[in-house]
Chains A and B, each alone.
Chain A
């Protein structure tokens, strides 16, 4: 703690900061199209489509063929490894298609979770090991116990991805709320691995998106989620400080503060907004340029309404508050496609529609799909001292 040994030059800092600001420019958010092979299996299964490499390529092509309307609402796209090296029908690499729209390319660099022994089913996250391509399971696979947990070779992989067109990365850690969790160990270990990942990314010119997801599973109420989120984020930012991470060149991808899925109490978008923004104000330093929420289990509309409420909430918000949505941007597109080439254009249109809605929500300008005028919404903000 006594002396500084600068991790980054002034030029490196500027590059990272510029990338981050481009991704979260006003009205823009992120398309999380980085579903692993196993994860895509679930999505494709639901629409009766076989999980082949070609189908995954065709599906991503639908998203990436969106016209210039997405330029004003999508600042970045997160890729899965396989997708980084796929091309459109006409041979254009996907990476190039995205960059040609002025959108920043990102890459998922984690490889799912491994157990933390001695805990109540808690986990940490490991990195991808070199040579791993398609075929490995996504997250939550118990059989990964024997795999190296950690950040092995991450630096080399980052350097390669940077050469291949990526300017940001994503690493997802997972925590859960139950009677005994998250434990101090789980919080500390996940915060630490996120900080190591972030530090390594920045050394290679890659902006790290830091994702400490607290799952919405459970029957806990809004207050409990807020409490846990505050503890987790405080630990994350202490770890980032300890690891000398340049905050202006990072982004945060947290959960919104919501009740558990099976919580009997219902909350309004305004209550979710107040709880979420309060938690962030207490933990996320203003130097962080943007907070890009994950959508978790939320529906497309729910995710947009909540994001909009967050952006109209009457508390001072010193960072951009926007989206990094997977399912909440793609659900309609997937069901419009159903694996049929003839449906491709209609499917792309569904995606563009959701992208534009979320772009408005990121500006607090989305009026909802018909019900509840803005004025009715305002009166629902509960006095902030209750949070």
Chain B
């Protein structure tokens, strides 16, 4: 703690900061298209499409060959390793296809969970071995940001001190290594929505987790202006009997972030978790309308919540390409409006009616 040994030169810092700013430029968010092979399998199974490399490529091509105007709502795309090296039907590599629209290319860097012995089923994340070399290679191959997802869960005994501390530490190591190689790290400490806990409990846990994450980032000398945060929104557990409004979710979430996320962080890109496309947009919109100060961008990094309709329109048939692209474009545009607090939910026009839904039932 006594002396500084600068981790980055001013030029390196500027490069990282510029990338981060481009990704979350006003009205833009991230398309998380980094589903692993297994996860893609789940998605494709739902629309009765076989999980082959070609089908995965074909669907991603549909997304990435959208009209360039998609760049008004999409600032970055996260890719899975396989996808970074795939090409469109004309032979153009996907990174090039994305970059020529002025969108930043990102890469999923973690290698999934590993158990933490002696805990109640808690985990840490693998992927630090050889990470520096992988980052250097991905940077050469077109990536400018990385993503690493840590997972925590809420039960009567979790998350434990160890799980919080270990996941925060791994995230900080990953972030530090990324920055050394010119990649902006997206830091994702996801607290799963599984469980019957209420909104308050999720808020409490999220505050503790984020405080630990930012202490670890500081300990590891990470340059915050060259990072992004990808947290869960603060919501009740899936099986919580009590229902909350988007305004409740917004107040709890933004309060949590104000208490833990330094203003130096340029943007916060929420994960959509188990939310439907519409839910994810409405909640994001409520955040951006909520009457609390917001010194960072509040935007999206959505996977399912941007792709569900597109997948359902495609169902594996190339003749459905245009319909699928239109479905994707629509969701992208809606989320672009939501991150400016300008999404007018169809059917509900009265903002006064919305305002009255702010619950004073508990103080945040």
Is B260 touching A2 in the complex (CB atoms < 8 A)?
no
State whether B156 touches A234 (Cβ < 8 A). no
Residue interface bits B192-214, CB-to-A below 8 A is 1, else 0: 00000000110011011001101
Asked whether B205 lies within 8 Å of A1 as measured between CB atoms, the reply is yes
The reply to whether the CB of B261 lies closer than 8 angstroms to some CB of chain A is: yes
Contact A241 B208 (CB under 8 A): yes
A284 within 8 A of B: yes
Known: A1-B160, A237-B211. A183 touches B2 (CB 8 A): yes
- Complex interface: chain B residues within 8 A of A295 (CB): none
Asked if A287 contacts B363 (CB within 8 A), the reply is no
Quick check: B205 and A227 within 8 Å, CB to CB?
A: no
CB of B22 to closest CB in A, whole Å: 15
Residue numbers in A under 8 Å from B10 (CB-CB): 383, 385-386
A residues 205-255 near B (Cβ < 8 Å) are 223-224, 227-228, 230-231, 234-235, 237-238, 241-242, 247
- Size range of the interface on A? 35 or more
Whether B295 sits at the interface, judged by CB under 8 Å, is yes
| Contact, CB under 8 Å: A230 / B218 | yes
Q: Check B259–A285 contact: CB distance below 8 A.
A: yes
**Chain A positions 1 through 27: 1 when the CB is less than 8 Å from some CB of chain B, otherwise 0:** 111100000100110000000000000
Whether A231 lies near B262 (C-beta < 8 A) is no
Whether A385 and B17, one on each chain, are in contact in the complex, defined by CB atoms closer than 8 angstroms, is yes
B263 is an interface residue with CB less than 8 A from chain A: yes
A216 to chain B, nearest CB (A): 16
Q: Which of B202-235 contact A (CB under 8 A)?
A: 204-205, 207-208, 211-212, 214-215, 218-219, 224-225
Query: Cβ of A297 < 8 Å from any Cβ of B?
Result: no
Question: A13: shortest Cβ distance to chain B, in Å?
Answer: 6
Q: Give chain A interface residues in 240-291, CB to chain B under 8 Å.
A: 241-242, 247, 278, 281-287
Q: Which residues of A contact B295 (CB under 8 A)?
A: 286, 316, 318
Q: Is A321 an interface residue (CB 8 A)?
A: no
Among A1, A284, A287, the most chain B Cβ lie within 10 Å of the Cβ of A1
Count of chain B residues near A, Cβ 8 A: 44
Q: Give Cα A235–Cα B10 distance, bound, in whole angstroms.
A: 25
* B263 adjacent to A184 (CB under 8 Å): no
Asked if B211 and A241 sit within 8 Å, CB to CB, the answer is yes
User: In whole Å, how far is B187's beta carbon from the nearest beta carbon of chain A?
Assistant: 14
In this complex, the member of B157, B161, B261, B264 whose beta carbon has the largest number of chain A beta carbons within 10 angstroms is: B264
Q: A303 contacts the other chain (Cβ, under 8 Å)?
A: no
The reply to whether A223 and B4 contact each other, CB–CB distance below 8 Å, is: yes
Q: A181 at the A/B interface (Cβ < 8 Å)?
A: yes
Given A228-B1, A241-B207, A241-B208, is A287 in contact with B259 using a C-beta cutoff of 8 Å?
A: yes
Which chain A residue has the least Cβ–Cβ distance from B262? A282
- In Å, the complex CA distance between A10 and B224 comes to 33
* Contact in complex: A287, B258 (CB < 8 Å): yes
Rounded to whole Å, the gap between the CB of B118 and the closest CB of chain A is 16
* A187 in contact (CB, < 8 A): yes
Q: Cβ of B60 < 8 Å from any Cβ of A?
A: no
Please determine whether A4 and B259 come into contact, CB atoms closer than 8 angstroms. no
Question: Of the candidates B3, B207, B259, B260, which one forms a contact with A227 in the assembled complex, judged by CB atoms under 8 Å apart?
Answer: B3
Q: Are B263 and A286 in contact (CB under 8 A)?
A: yes
The minimal Cβ–Cβ distance linking B258 to chain A, given in whole angstroms, is: 4
Interface residues of B in 111-168 (CB under 8 A from A): 154-161, 164
Sample of 29 A–B contacts (CB below 8 Å)? A1-B208, A2-B157, A2-B159, A2-B160, A3-B201, A10-B363, A13-B363, A14-B363, A178-B2, A179-B2, A183-B2, A228-B2, A234-B215, A234-B218, A238-B214, A238-B215, A278-B264, A281-B262, A281-B263, A281-B264, A283-B262, A284-B262, A286-B295, A287-B258, A316-B263, A383-B10, A385-B11, A385-B17, A386-B10
User: In the complex, given contacts A234-B219, A281-B264, what are 6 additional A-B residue pairs having Cβ atoms less than 8 angstroms apart?
Assistant: A181-B2, A281-B263, A285-B259, A383-B10, A385-B11, A385-B14
Residues in A lying within 8 Å of B, measured CB to CB: 1-4, 10, 13-14, 177-184, 187, 223-224, 227-228, 230-231, 234-235, 237-238, 241-242, 247, 278, 281-287, 316-318, 383, 385-386
* Chain B residues near A (Cβ < 8 Å): 1-4, 10-11, 13-14, 17, 154-161, 164, 200-201, 204-205, 207-208, 211-212, 214-215, 218-219, 224-225, 255, 258-264, 293, 295, 362-363
